[in-house]
Amino acid sequence: MKLLFVDDEQTFLKYLAKRLVLDGYEVRTTFSGEEGVEAAADEDFDVAIVDLKMPGIDGIEVQKRLKELQPDLPCIVLTGYGSVEHALESGKYNAFQFLSKPVDYETLVKTINEASEYRQQQEKRVREKGTEDEAARSEGKMKKALEKFKKFYGVSQ
């Protein structure tokens, strides 16, 4: 699983990234919102973990831009400044979960896995809907062709 981790606290980020890599995750770390957005413009990720308060563009703006770049990318928001207002603002940009720092490592891993599973379920629904839509289009085309055939040959039934 490929993770994008955006946080300006370098020591915290490096520590968590090392643990996640040891647990089998592929982790791309960025130390600012701008770097995180650039990374998402260059490559696809399964889950993003974004700090809320950062210099430059903050976590809410990062989520907004990530959604534009990768609409299905679930974002887990981490912050040392947890508040209901920030959680609600993050929710506007489909924050998958809002976690306060210091975050329990096991809780973070569980949330990452849940976000990935959620994304996979969403992608499966889209594929299934696409298949249903294609079948309906195909059926519609067949009905039109049959009507033309009947009309051309003068068949009324």
The answer to whether the CB of 63 falls within 8 A of the CB of 90 is yes
pLDDT band of residue 104 (cuts 50, 70, 90) is very high
Residue 124 structure tokens? 């499966």
Residues 6+ apart with CB under 8 A from 26: 1, 2, 3
Token pair belonging to 75: 């974002």
Q: Which of 39-53, 102-116, 126-140 has the weakest average pLDDT?
A: 126-140
Q: What is the pLDDT of residue 53?
A: 86
Say what angle helices 33-42 and 59-69 make with each other, to 10 degrees.
10
Task: Say if pTM beats, i.e. exceeds, 0.95.
Answer: no
Q: Which residue has the higher pLDDT, 24 or 147?
A: 24
| CATH level 3 topology of 2-130 | Rossmann fold (3.40.50)
